[in-house]
Amino acid sequence: MTKKLTNIYLIPYALWIGLFVLAPLAMVLYYSFFTIQGHFSFVNYLRFFTPIYLKMAVSSIGYAFLITLFTLLIAYPTAYLLTRLKNRRLWLLLIILPTWINVLLKAYAFIGLLGTYGLANSLAALIGIGRQQILFTGFSFVFVSVYLFIPFMILPIYNSLEKLNSSYVDAAHDLGASAGATFRRVIFPLTLEGVKSGCQAVFIPALSLFMLTRLIAGNRVITLGTAIEEHFLVTQDWGMGATIAVFLILAMVIVMALMGKGGLKRW
Amino acid sequence: MKKISVMLVAVLILVLVLAFVAAKLTGSTTRAGAKTLTIYNWGDYIDPTLITKFEKKYGYRVVYQTFDSNEAMLTKIQQGGTSFDLIVPSDYMISKMRDEHLLLPINMKNVPNLKNVDSRFMNLSFDPNNRYSVPYFWGTVGIVYNPKMLGGDKITSWNDLWDKNYKNQILLVDSAREIIGMGLNSLHYSVNDTNEKHLDQTLRKLKRLTPNIKAIVGDENKLLLPRREAAIGVLWSGDAVEIMDENPELTYVIPKEGSNVWFDNMAIPKGATNKKGAEEFINFMLDPRNAAKNAEYVGYATPDKAAMRYLPKKIKNDKRFYPDKKLTDRLEVYDNFSKPMNAKFNELFLEFKMSHH
């Protein structure tokens, strides 16, 4: 009886997964085998291994890596600080708040801030550095992306820091471990799960960022996401777009497998 | 638990109420009777007072919907669903839709004002004899620039853009056809050239432009150029009008090697329920006074020759936006490319973008 009931409860979930996860994935895979003329072939996969797309793949992965790294470097100390604060709920809310604003809106705000005559450059001019090109550089792309992703890294790390039993830290101190050693040998390994899920939550979307590459990087950064967008919306070469998507999915699977199976655990 | 169920019920009631209101609203606007005319046009592309005037004069109720790209419009027409009576696709899209049998021929007997249209803009390659379309607005692809930022330099040609002094000064529009077309034109080839060798040569030439390119952007150029983020922009004439309205320092030029001329055209899609009304609307929009009023409001160039009389001198004598025949003869309309050729242009463009770091 109970077995039957749980099966019934599973139906909505199974339907959801089937319709909105598995079916689209199957369709992406299916489309990837068709050329622009609608012939079945593997030609799109061969095209992926030409210099244009390989270069694009390398730069996508490189930028996603940088974005994840900087996000982690900022988010971990922030999350740690958060656990020591008094009004944690309020601070947490303030960190989550910006995620309620549409990404495009935020991107447009950054165009204004980082432009030649924007706030950042006016400040630079004021202190004598002079106006620099900030907008439309690789730097601005990483900077804005990191800003957008920080909340998604802070939350899981904060959660695992919260769960950390403080008596472990006390014990480490009592046994003579320095602050650094406590962090390296006790705190960080115990919050690794949070770091991993944070990295996944950042790296995977960072791989396929596309609007920012135009708005903030002025197409100086071309990621696989840009190419997918173009193939689906402009060229209408759905086959090639789907093929790139297949490779992105593969990359994500690899990342998740590495994260799951101790890639980071050996630290 | 009780709280949750109360909330669920509240949400459910809200959804039902909204659904009812929505049904009520759409029911009263899209009932496709003979007395409605459903128009599907680009956003902000008509003087709204003309719609009111048309409604009063002909007794139709106009339902006005907008799109933001030819492709989006095409998809909606292909899907059916809403029956539109009048659409405004660009030139290449007219040939494409005609070939896919998505357009109805216009009965020109109902459009006597067709005689007002400048003969330069009739019988064009995308619709021989204007069987399916009547031009609505037209414009060019060119260069908008700020002479003050360039030390008073005057730009007259595409090749001027390759000047070593313009390092990091150019914003290009993120559109394959326009930029590859610019490269082809700069080598004195046609914008419709598909010769493999010429395209290779074009790509090599475009790659040499990269030190001068600040960014390849979309509609943001309308935000960036007036703010002096860059001195030069390659874009459509209509965008140039908006930019120059905002910052009069800038000016627009159609490069002397030639460029693209484009047309947005009124057409009647298959499945229209009020074809007669659509034809009356086309005729109404070609009325000289209405065309002039519309052109003044929208800022693009009207193909209506008779409307010139009603346009302020400052507008109609502006050669930058109303180029004379001598110049328009050097401009070309885009051919409707096959899908693979379209893909080829886009891949070339992608390769060009990759070379720009």
Whether residues A136 and B357 touch (CB distance < 8 A) is answered with no
State the sign of the Cα–Cα–Cα–Cα dihedral A80, A85, A89, A93: negative
Torsion angles phi and psi, residue B40, rounded to 5: -125, 105
* Residue ranges, chain B, pLDDT below 70: 1, 25-34
Q: Tell me which chain B residues have a C-beta less than 8 angstroms from the C-beta of A232.
A: none
pLDDT of residue B25: 66
pLDDT tens for A42-62 read 999 999 999 989 999 999 999
pLDDT of residue B70: 87
Query: Shortest CB distance from B229 goes to which of A108, A116, A138?
Result: A116
pLDDT of residue A266: 40
Asked if the model's pLDDT at residue A12 lies above 50, the reply is yes
Task: Select the more confidently predicted residue: B132 or A11.
Answer: B132
- Minimal Cα–Cα distance from A190 to chain B, Å? 35
ipTM of this complex: 0.83
pLDDT of residue B27: 52
pLDDT of residue B39: 96
> What band does A142 get if pLDDT is binned at 50, 70 and 90?
very high
Whether residues B224 and A115 touch (CB distance < 8 A) is answered with yes
pLDDT tens for B32-44 read 444 899 999 998 8
Interface residues of B toward A, Cβ cutoff 8 Å, are 71, 168, 171, 174, 176, 214-218, 220, 223-224, 227-229, 339-340, 342-343, 346-347, 350-351, 353-354, 356-357
Whether residues B215 and A236 touch (CB distance < 8 A) is answered with no
Domain ranges of chain A: 48-260
pLDDT of residue A22: 94
Whether residues B217 and A219 touch (CB distance < 8 A) is answered with yes
pLDDT of residue B30: 45
- On average, the pLDDT of chain A sits at 89
What is the 3 state secondary structure string of chain A? CHHHHHHHHHHHHHHHHHHHHHHHHHHHHHHCCECCCCCECCHHHHHHCCHHHHHHHHHHHHHHHHHHHHHHHHHHHHHHHHHHCCCHHHHHHHHHHHHHCCHHHHHHHHHHHHCCCCHHHHHHHHCCCCCCCCCCCHHHHHHHHHHHHHHHHHHHHHHHHHHCCHHHHHHHHHCCCCHHHHHHHHHHHHCHHHHHHHHHHHHHHHHCCCHHHHHCCCCCCCCHHHHHHHHHHHHCCHHHHHHHHHHHHHHHHHHHHHHHCCCCCCC
pLDDT of residue A131: 85
Token output for B160: 């001027």
The superfamily (CATH) of domain A48-260 is: MetI-like (1.10.3720.10)
Query: Shortest CB distance from A215 goes to which of B220, B350, B351?
Result: B220
Asked if the model's pLDDT at residue A2 lies above 70, the reply is no
Gap between the Cα atoms of B107 and B114, Å rounded: 11
